[in-house]
């Protein structure tokens, strides 16, 4: 894929994700500053239940894996706008 087309595709995907964001949930559920691992896990599990704006991946997914916590599928998420 041409670099410009790839960038446009990524921008579209990001805009699409933001259109699915549960803004009310995000406004009232901020990630704590300097959150520890337990807080991060709890926040992301709650986020997965209430908002479909993004997948759990990267460092957070690795944290879930090391703790033996299943990452919720997007289809399982509730309360998505």
Closest Cα partner for 43 from 62, 57, 64, 29?
29
* C-beta separation of 40 from 18 below 8 A: no
Q: Render each residue's pLDDT in the chain as its tens digit; 81 residues.
A: 566 655 555 554 554 554 567 888 888 999 989 999 999 999 999 988 888 788 899 999 999 999 999 998 765 555 544
- For 25, the 3-state DSSP assignment is helix
Q: How high is the pLDDT of residue 55?
A: 86
Q: How high is the pLDDT of residue 64?
A: 96
Predicted TM-score of the model (pTM):
0.66
* C-beta separation of 46 from 29 below 8 A: yes
Measure the CA–CA gap between 24 and 1, rounded to whole angstroms.
37
């Amino acid at each position: 894929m041409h670099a410009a087309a790839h960038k446009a595709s990524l921008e579209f995907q990001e805009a699409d994700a933001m259109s699915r964001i549960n803004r009310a949930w995000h406004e009232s559920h901020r990630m704590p500053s300097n959150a520890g691992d337990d807080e991060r896990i709890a926040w992301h599990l709650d986020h997965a239940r209430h908002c479909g704006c993004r997948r759990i991946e990267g460092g957070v997914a690795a944290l879930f894996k090391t703790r033996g916590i299943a990452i919720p599928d997007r289809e399982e998420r509730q309360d998505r706008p």
